[in-house]
Amino acid sequence: MAERGARSAVVLAHPSPDLYGSDRMLVESVRALVPDWRVVVTLPADGPLSQALREAGAEIVVLPVPVLRKAYMSPFGLVRLAFAAARALPRAWRLLRRERAAVLYVNTVTIPLWLIAARLARVPALCHVHEAEDGVPGPVRAALSAPLRLARTVVVNSRASAAALGGAGRGAQIVYNGVEEPARTVPPRAEPGPPARIALVGRLSPRKGSDVAVKAVRLLRERGYDASLTLVGAIFPGYEWFEEELRTMAGDDEGVVFAGFRPSVWESFAEADIAIVPSRVEPFGNVAVEAMLAGRPVVASATQGLVEIVEDGENGVLVPPDDPAALADGIARLLDDWDGALAMAKRARDDAARRFGKDRYHSELREAVRRLAAPAHATLSPPS
């Protein structure tokens, strides 16, 4: 208890107990902050993320709060959202007061209730934006970004995320994600096959272009390439229909493997020859950086944050999004010049380590929280 009382607390709020891109970045955020603060992370449920956070040094508090999802975008859904928010807000406020939070760090725009709780508890808030919803109607985008006015500091993970926020993105601090390198890199194969092993690591989701990948590999096989595709990831609850569509699309093709969720990405990349990131929407693209650090040639969609990571022909291949034929062409481009692909992968590994290393991320994020915490800690009073 002496440690608990001696150190100021930073409370981190996150909408999911899963372990994908933005979830992994939460772990790195915790690692950045634990040297200076006691870190308390609140999740809506226990899950794979919890253990990773504890190992990074965080305390975990399970406190369900409503997350903005499409399911709420109806008159009945909005009523349910209002009732859920009314129940959760007092609990969120009490948590901030009980922990004597010096700063609230909200790790997404999808849980705005935490920003309201911070304002009521007089705790300065930082919102770390991992979204880039520039394809939604203007009023919806404005509604998503409006709660950011309650945050003292807004951090975004790419220029694309800042641009998608419109006016709310002005003055936002860009902190590119920091990705930890694998403990051991398995060298790529001298020859890609047979079959050439292609991996897509990420949620099974229309946003991630899982369907584009299945169609592209089918086109490759029709062109005479011996190629297989491994889909590593699971669905969000409510997207069971999409997995059914993918499985129907794949049919009895043994060249398409549904591997499910894996807690570590490195095993999947070690088994692969080529990594693909065919996202339709991708505010940053952790998996592209991870594939580069694993030494695998990357084919990615030329969309949003991915174009801030991948430079076509230099450290990867960029193709138009939502275009299976273009994705097939990009993969074939690597297979047809494998020596060139391996040389590109080596350049990409060095580039990713330099631009997206975790030490740089830790330093920039820690400084953003420190600036916010200093005046708050000076005026913090005990809870009543």
pLDDT at 378: 42
The residue extents of the domains of the chain are: 2-178+357-379, 196-355
Pair 188, 342: CB distance under 8 Å: yes
CA max distance for the chain: 72
Give the type of residue at 107. N
Per-residue pLDDT reduced to its tens digit, 265-286: 999 999 999 999 999 999 999 9
Secondary structure class of 38 (helix, strand, coil): strand
pLDDT score of 70 more than 70:
no
pLDDT at 167: 67
Query: Which CATH number applies to 2-178+357-379: 3.40.50.2000, 3.40.1160.10, 1.20.58.340, 3.30.980.10?
Result: 3.40.50.2000
What is the C-alpha to C-alpha distance for residues 83 and 146, in angstroms, rounded to an integer? 20
Strand arrangement, sheet containing 274-277: 256-260, 227-232, 196-201, 274-277, 298-301, 317-319
Instruction: Read off the pLDDT of each residue in 132-158 and give the average, rounded to a whole number.
Output: 77
Domain 2-178+357-379 matches domain 196-355 at the CATH topology level: yes
Query: Which CATH number applies to 196-355: 3.40.50.300, 3.40.50.2000, 3.40.50.2300, 1.20.120.1200?
Result: 3.40.50.2000
Note the pTM of the prediction, 2 decimals. Answer: 0.81
Per-residue pLDDT reduced to its tens digit, 179-198: 888 988 999 999 998 999 99
pLDDT score of 5 more than 60:
no
Q: Please give the radius of gyration of the chain, using alpha carbons only, rounded to the nearest integer.
A: 21
Give residue for tokens 């994020």.
Answer: 365
CA distances from 337 to 333, 340, 344 (A): 7, 5, 11
**9 beta partners:** 38, 101
pLDDT at 136: 58
Q: What percent of the chain has pLDDT over 70?
A: 89
Per-residue pLDDT reduced to its tens digit, 278-337: 999 999 999 999 999 999 999 999 999 999 999 999 999 999 999 999 999 999 999 999
What is the C-alpha to C-alpha distance for residues 324 and 334, in angstroms, rounded to an integer? 16
CA 345, 158, 108, 38 torsion: positive or negative?
positive
Q: Which of 124-138, 165-179, 213-227, 362-376 has the lowest mean pLDDT?
A: 124-138
